[in-house]
């Protein structure tokens, strides 16, 4: 398999349900060998996009390919692409193992494969129980096990962390990291950036069926610039001083004796306070608040021209 | 296709529904056979005496095709369960060409239909042969047109299984499909076929066509020739399965 096999290209994809434009001319690319977060608020069109990518929903316009081919044209698609689209899609009376054996049979995998993937997702002990007795977290694991049956090079996961407890989310992150380290392309959707922030290298952010941003996660952080928090007994003077050196007023948030300033380095705030002889009790450079960037990108009111531009594909 | 059919059998055997419906079919056959033989001397009955070839054919045909509605229900549940439990997503991910999935289900449930029909024929034989012999009625399984009747019964049950798959693909909604199927078979068709003035048309309905195919003779109803009945039933089957496959291919799986 070449790298080309894992590249996902979505081009001009559109889908309308009734009067609702679920996906509206969506274009993005996912490079192989990386974990890409597919982000957007609920109703942004993530699930519809993934279902069009996987040949389950017929697009009104545009194309979606994996390794240059539509999913429905892939020979033995389960060998190449594993997908988790919903965690509740099981016959309740079947055991987890029976579910996996059914899809092993259909795809022509050996009967032992079901037990292997059960082990891989930590469900060995529950394999012979009916799925109706599974927790949501166990169903997520079983859905992932189903996707892994064919040992695919590409994984497409729709909100895989839904219903998982913090331990489960940590487990899922570790597993996805391991899977990506083996050279797989992983496309994972979420409506909460923080859920996948520590996992993904790249992001594709969509809102109202359109791509508002795609690129490396680090570039997303740079959009917002640095953030500094400072505590001082005289916040009024510091605020005035900051505005005087050119910091926009709306980039300063004040809580009690603490100021939070975006778009400025901690060094500069420290120098300024020293020059103005304002005592500083505490000064810290914050990690960029990606959640706020995400929020700005996906809130229509908060749209700023600089943030809505899509980086070159 | 072999793998898909094996997968469908896996799905069917993973739960017990097939067994309960099989036992139900066999119980209905046993009940019908017993009542029919016990009251066969009643002069008001709509069936011919069991000493005649037509009478024996009717007994075997009706007993064998007792499985028809239950097989249709099993098949309809088998396909609509994919939508109800949302496994259709996984199934169509594994096999993006949905027509192949439906073809596999048609073959699987067709084979199941043959199995059900054979089980019901075994039941009617096990009851009728000793009982009629005790009543000094001459019964030869190889004679009186009974082989054709049994073959017709097997074909009829199989066609009902295929109709169940097609209808399920068409409607997708499990409760609507099963209830609709049962209401049609036991209410609508029962009403229509009880109006003699409509006889020229109602003989083309699935139930009367089934009766024609299996060689049932009733004194109060006229049926088509067996081959015509088979053709009519096959036509329903092909139309419903084709419409179901067409729509399954077109519809979004959301």
Asked if the C-beta of A155 comes within 8 angstroms of chain B's C-beta atoms, the answer is no
pLDDT digits 0-9 by tens, A185-243? 899 998 888 778 888 889 999 988 888 888 888 777 676 677 888 999 989 899 888 89
Interface size between A and B, measured as CB pairs under 8 A? 79
Considering only the beta carbons, identify the residue of A74, A102, A108 that sits closest to B14. A102
Cross-strand bridge partners of residue A39: A190, A205
Q: Do B14 and A108 touch (CB under 8 A)?
A: no
- Among the ranges A46-55, A282-291, A302-311, B31-40, which has the highest mean pLDDT value? A46-55
Q: Which residue has the tokens 């020293």?
A: A274
Q: Please report residues of B whose CB lies closer than 8 A to that of A48.
A: 254
Considering only the beta carbons, identify the residue of B4, B15, B93 that sits closest to A83. B93
Considering only the beta carbons, identify the residue of A95, A103, A108 that sits closest to B90. A103
Establish how many alpha carbons lie within 13 A of residue B214's alpha carbon, considering only the half-sphere containing its beta carbon. Answer: 32
Q: Please enumerate residues of B whose Cβ is less than 8 A from a Cβ of A.
A: 3-4, 6-7, 10-11, 14-15, 81, 85-87, 89-97, 250, 252-254
| 3-class DSSP state of B144 | coil
Considering only the beta carbons, identify the residue of B3, B85, B92 that sits closest to A56. B92
Asked if the C-beta of A69 comes within 8 angstroms of chain B's C-beta atoms, the answer is no
Q: How high does pLDDT run on average in chain A? A: 86
- Examine the pLDDT at A303 and tell me if it is beyond 70: no
Q: Which residue has the higher pLDDT, A294 or A213?
A: A213
pLDDT digits 0-9 by tens, A88-108? 889 999 999 999 999 999 999
Tell me the average pLDDT across A259-275.
87
Percent of chain A with pLDDT over 70: 92
Q: Do B14 and A98 touch (CB under 8 A)?
A: yes
The pTM score is: 0.84
pLDDT value at position B182? Answer: 93
Q: Which residue has the higher pLDDT, B242 or A291?
A: B242
In 3D, which of B170, B16, B91, B190 has the Cα closest to residue A54?
B91
pLDDT value at position B124? Answer: 93
**Do residues A262 and A296 make contact, with C-beta atoms less than 8 angstroms apart?**
no
In 3D, which of B165, B186, B185, B30 has the Cα closest to residue B111?
B165
Alpha-carbon distance B160 to B116, whole Å?
11
Asked if the C-beta of A307 comes within 8 angstroms of chain B's C-beta atoms, the answer is no
Q: Which residue has the tokens 């070839």?
A: B53
Q: In what order do the strands lie in the sheet with A154-158?
A: A81-84, A154-158, A185-190, A35-39, A202-207, A210-216
Contacts of A260 (CB under 8 A, 6+ apart): A227, A228, A229, A252, A253, A254, A286
Q: How confident is the model at residue A287 (pLDDT cuts 50, 70, 90)?
A: low
pLDDT value at position B62? Answer: 86
**ipTM of the complex in this document:** 0.87
**A14-23, Cβ contacts within 8 angstroms, sequence gap of 24 or more:** A14/A59, A14/A60, A14/A61, A14/A62, A14/A209, A15/A45, A15/A48, A15/A52, A15/A57, A15/A59, A15/A60, A15/A209, A16/A60, A17/A48, A21/A208, A21/A209, A22/A48, A22/A209, A23/A48, A23/A49, A23/A52, A23/A59, A23/A209
Residue in chain A closest to B79 (alpha carbons) equals A91
Contacts of A135 (CB under 8 A, 6+ apart): A163
- Domain spans in chain B, listed from the N-terminal domain onward: 2-249
Tell me the average pLDDT across A276-290.
82
Q: Do A107 and B94 touch (CB under 8 A)?
A: yes
| Average pLDDT for runs of 10 along chain B of length 254 | 94 93 95 88 75 86 88 95 93 94 96 95 92 85 87 93 95 94 92 86 90 84 88 95 93 89
pLDDT value at position A307? Answer: 38
pLDDT digits 0-9 by tens, A162-191? 878 888 888 888 888 888 888 888 999 988
H/E element holding A64? strand A61-66
In 3D, which of B34, B61, B37 has the Cα closest to residue B49?
B37
């Amino acid at each position: 398999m070449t790298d080309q096999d894992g590249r996902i290209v979505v081009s001009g994809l559109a889908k309308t349900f009734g009067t609702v434009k679920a996906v509206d001319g969506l274009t993005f690319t996912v490079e192989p060998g990386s974990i890409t977060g597919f982000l957007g608020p609920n109703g942004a069109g993530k699930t519809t996009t993934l279902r069009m990518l996987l040949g389950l929903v017929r697009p009104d316009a545009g194309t979606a390919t994996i390794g240059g081919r539509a999913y429905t044209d892939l020979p033995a698609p389960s060998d190449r692409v594993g997908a988790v689209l919903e965690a509740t899609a099981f016959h309740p009376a079947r055991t987890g193992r029976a579910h996996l054996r059914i899809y092993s049979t259909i795809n022509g995998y050996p009967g032992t494969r079901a037990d292997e993937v059960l082990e891989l997702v930590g469900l060995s002990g529950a394999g012979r129980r009916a799925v109706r007795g599974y927790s949501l977290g166990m169903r997520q694991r079983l859905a992932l096990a189903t996707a892994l049956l064919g040992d695919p090079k590409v994984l497409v996961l729709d909100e895989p962390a839904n219903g998982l407890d913090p331990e489960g989310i940590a487990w899922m992150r570790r597993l996805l990291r391991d899977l990506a380290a083996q050279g797989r392309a992983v496309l994972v959707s979420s409506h909460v950036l923080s859920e996948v922030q520590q996992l993904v290298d790249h992001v594709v952010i969509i809102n109202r069926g359109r791509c508002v941003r795609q690129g490396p996660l680090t570039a997303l952080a740079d959009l917002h610039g640095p953030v500094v928090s400072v505590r001082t007994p005289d916040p009024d003077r510091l605020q005035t001083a900051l505005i005087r050196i050119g910091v926009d007023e709306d980039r300063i948030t004040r809580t009690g004796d603490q100021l939070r300033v975006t778009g400025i380095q901690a060094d500069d705030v420290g120098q300024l306070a020293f020059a103005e002889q304002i005592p500083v009790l505490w000064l810290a450079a914050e990690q960029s608040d990606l959640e706020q960037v995400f929020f700005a990108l996906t809130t229509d009111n908060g749209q700023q021209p600089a943030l809505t531009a899509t980086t070159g594909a | 296709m072999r793998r898909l059919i094996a997968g469908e059998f896996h799905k069917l055997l993973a739960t017990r529904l097939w067994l309960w419906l099989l036992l139900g079919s066999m119980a209905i056959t046993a009940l019908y056979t017993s009542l029919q033989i016990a009251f066969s001397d009643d002069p008001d009955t709509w069936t011919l005496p069991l000493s005649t070839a037509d009478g024996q054919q009717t007994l075997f045909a009706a007993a064998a095709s007792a499985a028809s509605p239950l097989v249709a229900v099993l098949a309809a549940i088998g396909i609509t369960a994919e939508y109800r439990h949302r496994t259709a997503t996984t199934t169509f991910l594994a096999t993006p060409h949905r027509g192949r999935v439906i073809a596999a289900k048609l073959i699987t449930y067709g084979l199941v239909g043959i199995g059900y029909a054979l089980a019901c024929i075994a039941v009617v034989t096990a009851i009728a042969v000793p009982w009629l012999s005790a009543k000094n009625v001459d019964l030869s399984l190889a004679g009186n047109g009974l082989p054709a009747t049994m073959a017709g019964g097997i074909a009829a049950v199989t066609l009902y299984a295929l109709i169940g798959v097609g209808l399920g693909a068409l409607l997708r909604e499990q409760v609507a499909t099963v209830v609709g199927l049962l209401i049609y078979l036991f209410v609508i068709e029962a009403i229509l076929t009880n109006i003699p003035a409509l006889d020229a048309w109602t003989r083309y309905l699935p139930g009367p066509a089934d009766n024609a195919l299996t060689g049932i003779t009733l004194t109060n109803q006229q049926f088509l020739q067996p081959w015509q009945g088979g053709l009519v039933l096959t036509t329903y089957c092909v139309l419903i399965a084709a419409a179901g496959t067409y729509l399954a291919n077109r519809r979004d799986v959301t």
